[in-house]
Amino acid sequence: MTSSINLVKNGTMKNVGSDYIGFAEATRICFKEKIFIYRVPISGDSMKIEIDYKGRKKLGTEIYKWKTDQDKMHDKIHELYVTIAKQIQNRE
């Protein structure tokens, strides 16, 4: 039996499955494993996302513009934390 919860985002209620992990929980799981995801400036107005796993760093390929891609970059960091946290939970 799969349970679900209702999630409210931007005033809209959404039904999500029981495997839902919130951002706070995802970051807690990742930080415990020494996984950090953050922005790295590559020029005056451009950035990339970097994942640091116990000191081993992997720089992403997508370029984000500081002025126009803030939301897109934030959403991608959120997505990465949640995806990685789910992978960690599934291996335990």
- Break the chain down into helix, strand, coil percent, rounded to 5: 35, 35, 30
Residue 74: predicted pLDDT: 95
Backbone angles phi, psi at 7, to 5 degrees: -115, 130
pTM here?
A: 0.78
Question: What are the tens digits of pLDDT across the range 26-65?
Answer: 999 999 999 999 999 999 999 999 999 999 999 999 999 9
Return the domain boundaries, the chain: 21-91
Give residue 91's pLDDT: 87
CB-based contacts of 2, cutoff 8 Å, min separation 6:
17, 18
Counting every residue, how long is the chain? 92
Q: Which residue has the higher pLDDT, 13 or 73?
A: 73
- Give residues with Cβ within 8 angstroms of 63, minimum separation 6: 42, 46, 47, 48
